[in-house]
Amino acid sequence: MSNSVISVISRFLEEYTTKTSNKLKVVDAYLFYILLTGALQFLYCLLVGTFPFNSFLAGFISCVGAFILGVCLRIQINPDNKGDFLSISQERAFADFLLAHTVLHLVVINFIG
Amino acid sequence: MAQPRVFCLVLLTVALGAQALTPSHHLSLSDVERLKGLLSQPFTDLASAYYSIVGLSKLGAAVADENDACQFLKAQLDPMSVDSLFFAAEASQAIADCEVSISNETRDILLAAVSEDSTVTQIFRAVSALSSLGLPLASQEVVAALVARIAKEDNVLAITTALQTATRLSQQAELGGILEEIEDLAARLDDLGGVYLQFEEGLEATALFVTAAYTLSDHADTEPPLKEDQVIQLVNSVFSKKSWDSRSEAFSVACAAAALSSNRFHVPVIVSTQGPATVSHSQPILHLLVTDILSNPLASANLLVESAQAVASKSVVLSQAPFSLRDGIFELNFMASQPASGYYQFTVAVTGDSRLVANQVELKVKVSTEVAVTNMDLSVVDKDQSIGTKTSRVDYPFKAKGSFTADSHQNFAMNFQLVDANTGVELTPHQTFVRFHNQKTGQEVVFVAEPDSKNLYKFELDTAERKSEFDSMSGTYVLHLIVGDATLENPILWNVADVVLKFLDEEAPAAIQSKTLYMPKPDIQHLFREPEKKPPTVVSNTFTALVLSPFLLLLILWFKLGANISNFSLSPSSVLFHVGHACMLGLMYVYWTHLNMFQTLKYLAIIGSLTFLAGNRMLAQKAVKRYAE
């Protein structure tokens, strides 16, 4: 059982490192960073307490929002998905990403207190 | 003809027992002096000279210097003016040995003024001047002119002046039409609350109307068509004002007063007490003054008590008793009828003159007496009646020798009687209080002593029941008896005894609660909302570092992946885009620290639009470059 899991994981990692382009790996690294940050904030909240709750929410939602937008960007610039996004060029995807982030940051800063 | 009618009216009022209206205002002696004072002020022209001289003569007084006045009149006279002639002629008539010189022209001018074309005032002044100067005039012509003018000038003052004019005419003239005007004018009077009757034109018009009506009625020997109540209401209106605005107003009041005190038909009478209406054993005589409205005593009047009824018991004490006259004051020894103390309603009637109006008057008379406290017994009674009571008698005004002690098992009792010192009759005054005063603490507790059915006063203090009033403070209390009433001449404040009260469970605080009632209370400190417990700074600093650490990891990963900025083109749009984007992130920080949403949105709009334009350019260039490859 564990053997198959290990083999699946190792196969996945091998395919990932060879098949994915550099651009996507850059975005993946960014997504991994956001994930870590969000997880650490959640850990703090669990361990120490929810004071101040609004700040915790702002930070956590910032991570979640950024992660989602990053995922959207990755999907849109992936050449394999080109068929799904004919009218959206890579630059357009990036511009959308920036605009959405501006709105997200405005909300987060408003809420952070 | 007229007199029996007035008499019948009086009888009718008595028979019906109706409360006839009596004057509520008249001119007291000081009011008359004030009126004379106003009229005696120095005069500067003929009109004020006329008001002063004639007004004072109506009040029975004279101007300060008659010769001077006469010279003034002669000097100021303008023989061409009807008004001037009127004032001078009338005023000179009031002064003895004062004659105004006249000429034929004077007569012609005056006669010319008597016509339908002059105003009523002009006619009046001309007619009065002619009559005062002793010149002949044709009464019938005057009447015709007056009737014509009344039809044209239908106001109160004009008709009153016409009435006055008619008093100067011969008695043979046809004055009937003008006499009827009195009744018509009386109908125009306004009734205020059933107490006042006056013209809306004011006091002067009302007073002049009264003067004219009575003077004309006297002249024509016809009773004026005014009812008794109307006369009284007119008296109230004319004499309610005690300080007058102008000489002419004072003159009109003086004329009205003279007319009402000496006409042939209606003379209002004023019955008043001299001092307070109180009789007692020391002052048994009731003094009453009977005067006319100028406060002159009536020459031929008799005063009679029709009935004197006790207000409390409604029993009639006196009936049909005459007053005796002494030095102009009517006296009656009321105490001779041995009335009990209290209030009595007197109905007195003034007789002797059929002209008298409002001659039935109601008065309230008080009979006061002195009170004596008898049979004062103080005792301490045991509640369960097992131990015999100790009663001691105290006599007024002495104090009981020993003190009385009462604790929670005993009651303190007080019995006494209040009697009239002169007659021995039992009294129940309004105020019978028992006062306990603790001299150490300043406490004062007052109770009411009530009489029983036999008019014996009893007071009992249940120590246990009443401890709340005493705040459970045991100690020596000084006992006072307070007796008072409006009909008592000797109110009593009697220190009867000392009472020692013992209360159980002294819960009361050492200081009197009433004393601390008005002291400042302890301060209330406001408790602010406690801030929530924060974790120690070490922990938060650690976690801050921990949360920021993945950024380092990101940079390391990116470096490993080979991400670089070698493709960075230094075109203006890309530079502007990056600068703008950096500004936007900086704005977020400033928003967090300083700004509010509105300001932020404003700046964001500016920077954002620039960044957007630049970014658009830059990405387009990139796209072009990419497609070119």
pLDDT at B199: 93
Angle formed at CA B350 by CA B348 and CA B352, multiple of 5 degrees: 150
Q: How far apart are CA B194 and CA B183, in angstroms?
A: 19
Confidence of residue B513 (pLDDT cuts 50, 70, 90): low
Question: Measuring CA to CA, which residue among B274, B276, B275, B271 is closest to residue B486?
Answer: B276
Q: Is the residue at A90 inside a domain?
A: yes
- Find the range with the poorest average confidence among B15-19, B407-411, B510-514: B15-19
Mean pLDDT along residues B571-583: 88
| Region of residue B504 (left: phi > 0; alpha: psi -120 to 50; beta: else) | beta
Q: Do B622 and A44 touch (CB under 8 A)?
A: no
Q: Is the residue at A12 inside a domain?
A: no
Phi, psi torsion values for B501, nearest 5 degrees: -110, 135
Report pLDDT digits (tens) over A59-99.
999 999 999 999 999 999 888 877 888 888 888 888 899 99
Give every CB contact of residue B425 below 8 A, 6+ residues apart in sequence: B340, B419
Confidence of residue B627 (pLDDT cuts 50, 70, 90): confident
Return the residue of B nearest to A94 by Cα.
Answer: B619
Q: Minimal Cα–Cα distance from B509 to chain A, Å?
A: 50
pLDDT at B292: 87
- Tell me which chain A residues have a C-beta less than 8 angstroms from the C-beta of B546: 40, 44
Mean pLDDT along residues B473-490: 89
Which residue has 């107490």 as its token pair?
B195
Q: Do A22 and B551 touch (CB under 8 A)?
A: no
**Does B13 have pLDDT greater than 50?**
no
Q: Minimal Cα–Cα distance from A83 to chain B, Å?
A: 17
- Tell me which chain B residues have a C-beta less than 8 angstroms from the C-beta of A33: 550-551, 553-554, 557
CB B309 within 8 A of CB B315: yes
Which residue numbers of B have CB closer than 8 Å to A's CBs?
532-535, 539-540, 543, 546-547, 550-551, 553-554, 557-558, 561-563, 581, 584-585, 588, 591-592, 597, 600, 604, 608, 615-616, 619-620, 622-623, 626
pLDDT at B609: 92
Residue from the list B535, B546, B620 with its beta carbon closest to the beta carbon of A40: B546
Give every CB contact of residue B439 below 8 A, 6+ residues apart in sequence: B476, B478
Q: For CA atoms B462, B467, B468, B470, give the dihedral sign.
A: positive
CB B307 within 8 A of CB B316: yes
Return the residue of B nearest to A109 by Cα.
Answer: B592
H or E segment to which residue B279 belongs: strand B278-279
**Does A5 have pLDDT greater than 50?**
yes
Report pLDDT digits (tens) over B227-247.
988 999 999 999 999 989 999
Return the residue of A nearest to B607 by Cα.
Answer: A102
Question: Measuring CA to CA, which residue among B505, B346, B483 is closest to residue B419?
Answer: B483
Q: Do B550 and A36 touch (CB under 8 A)?
A: yes
Number of domains in chain A: 1
**Does B256 have pLDDT greater than 90?**
yes
Beta strands B329-333; B324-326: pairing state: antiparallel
Return the residue of A nearest to B583 by Cα.
Answer: A102
Residue B214 vs residue B100, higher pLDDT: B214
Report pLDDT digits (tens) over B534-550.
778 888 888 888 888 88
**Does B508 have pLDDT greater than 70?**
no
Return the residue of B nearest to A93 by Cα.
Answer: B619
**Does B509 have pLDDT greater than 60?**
no
Residue from the list B532, B558, B581 with its beta carbon closest to the beta carbon of A51: B532
pLDDT at B16: 45
Confidence of residue B15 (pLDDT cuts 50, 70, 90): very low
CB B370 within 8 A of CB B489: yes
Greatest mean pLDDT among B339-343, B445-449, B459-463 lies in B445-449
Q: Do B615 and A95 touch (CB under 8 A)?
A: yes
Q: How far apart are CA B478 and CA B395, in angstroms?
A: 17
Q: How far apart are CA A21 and CA A28, in angstroms?
A: 11
**Does B507 have pLDDT greater than 70?**
no
Interface test with A, best of B529, B552, B588, B589 (most A CBs within 10 A): B588
**Does B114 have pLDDT greater than 50?**
yes
- Tell me which chain A residues have a C-beta less than 8 angstroms from the C-beta of B581: 98
Q: Is the residue at A45 inside a domain?
A: yes
Confidence of residue B298 (pLDDT cuts 50, 70, 90): confident
Mean pLDDT along residues B126-145: 88
Q: Do A102 and B558 touch (CB under 8 A)?
A: no
Q: Is the residue at A9 inside a domain?
A: no
Mean pLDDT along residues B167-189: 88
Give every CB contact of residue B502 below 8 A, 6+ residues apart in sequence: B405, B406, B407, B408, B463, B474
**Does B454 have pLDDT greater than 90?**
no
Return the residue of B nearest to A106 by Cα.
Answer: B588
Report pLDDT digits (tens) over B338-382.
888 889 999 999 888 888 888 888 889 999 888 888 888 888 888
Q: Is the residue at A10 inside a domain?
A: no
pLDDT at B516: 64
Q: Is the residue at A7 inside a domain?
A: no
Q: How far apart are CA B156 and CA B158, in angstroms?
A: 6
Report pLDDT digits (tens) over B403-436.
888 888 888 888 899 988 888 888 888 899 999 9
Q: Is the residue at A13 inside a domain?
A: no
Domain residue limits at A36: 21-112
Is the ipTM higher than 0.90? The answer is: no
Which residue has 């699946």 as its token pair?
A8
Amino acid in position A100: A
Q: What is this structure's pTM?
A: 0.60
A vs B: CB pairs below 8 A = 71
C-alpha torsion angle, residues B585, A55, A37, B600 (rounded to 10): -10
Interface test with B, best of A23, A88, A109 (most B CBs within 10 A): A109
Q: Is the residue at A42 inside a domain?
A: yes
**Does B393 have pLDDT greater than 50?**
yes
H or E segment to which residue B146 belongs: helix B139-152
Q: Minimal Cα–Cα distance from B525 to chain A, Å?
A: 28
